[in-house]
Amino acid sequence: MSILERTRSSARPGAQLPVALPIGPRTAAVLVLASLAGLMMLCWPLLLEARPGDRVEPPFLFLALLPLVMVVVLAEMGEGGMDSRVLAVLGVLSAINAVMRGLGAGTAGIEMVFFLLVLGGRVFGAGFGFALGCTSLFASALLTAGVGPWLPFQMVCAAWVGMGAGLLPRRITGRAEITMLVVYAVVASYLYGLLMNLSFWPFALGIAVPGHEGSLAYVAGAPVLENAHRFLVYTLLTSTGGWDTGRAITTGIAIVVLGPAILTTLRRAARRAVVHPA
């Protein structure tokens, strides 16, 4: 089948669009390793065994390692089919996201980044969504002087949001597709807030004394379930009802109002940008 025939077939109603960054075995392996590194960064306090009085510090090695992993991921994706046109689309969407994030800046949970991240991952696939999450948060951090130890956590969590959107069933279309994306965006908004809380919770309230009842602080060396319970209560009280709900509402409304038009525009761009060998 020629390139022209593939392009025409992808434009037919109900046809499954090709992804801009196909994930091969090697790229999938790198994505899995990067995600595992991110999970280790986020979850290490729950797995730490320490005696009372031990000094607990964040693993700064992971903070230096993860950006390098992200570079490797992007390089692997480039070998899988990111040509100049797809790279241009990635750059444009990252720039738009960076500007929109500066407009809301997360005030009261108002986030204008995630709806475009979800739509981009939906149209261009999981690999593109992963890359878009990384580059969007990195670009917005440079634009707003928001570079800090929290940036790697934001990058990997946003990358998971974009990647998850690309893994949703691709044959669902029309209103059902918008409904599916809204539900996914709401769930992803809450999970993003939960994971970001986990990145700083062990240090936000200090280290509690083992056996201290009623505290929401992290207890070094306590059972995993005990610390997980403390963390979930802390998240519900400080984040879920405010920031996370605001993010979920903002993202869901944006997808309902702007989603159909943006999906059409992105898919038109995908048909011009994605090239498959004859």
Pairwise pLDDT comparison (92 vs 41), residue with the higher score = 92
Interatomic CA distance for residues 171 and 154, integer angstroms: 30
| Residue 257 falls inside a structural domain | yes
* Segment 71-76 mean pLDDT: 66
Highest mean pLDDT among 139-148, 154-163, 178-187, 212-221: 178-187
40 is a domain residue: yes
Q: What is the mean pLDDT of residues 192-197?
A: 87
Q: What is the pLDDT of residue 102?
A: 72
In a domain, 83, yes or no: yes
Residue 263 lies in a domain: yes
262 found inside a domain: yes
Q: What is the pTM assigned to this prediction? A: 0.78
Note whether residue 117 is domain-resident. yes
Residue 177 CB contacts under 8 Å (≥ 6 apart), including other chains: 263
| Domain presence at residue 278 | no
What's the pLDDT band for 260 if we cut at 50, 70, 90?
very high
Distance separating alpha carbons of residues 160 and 37, to the nearest angstrom: 13
Sign of CA dihedral 128, 133, 138, 140: positive
User: What domain count does the chain have?
Assistant: 1
Distance from the first to the final alpha carbon of the chain: 6
Structural domain boundaries, residue 171: 3-273
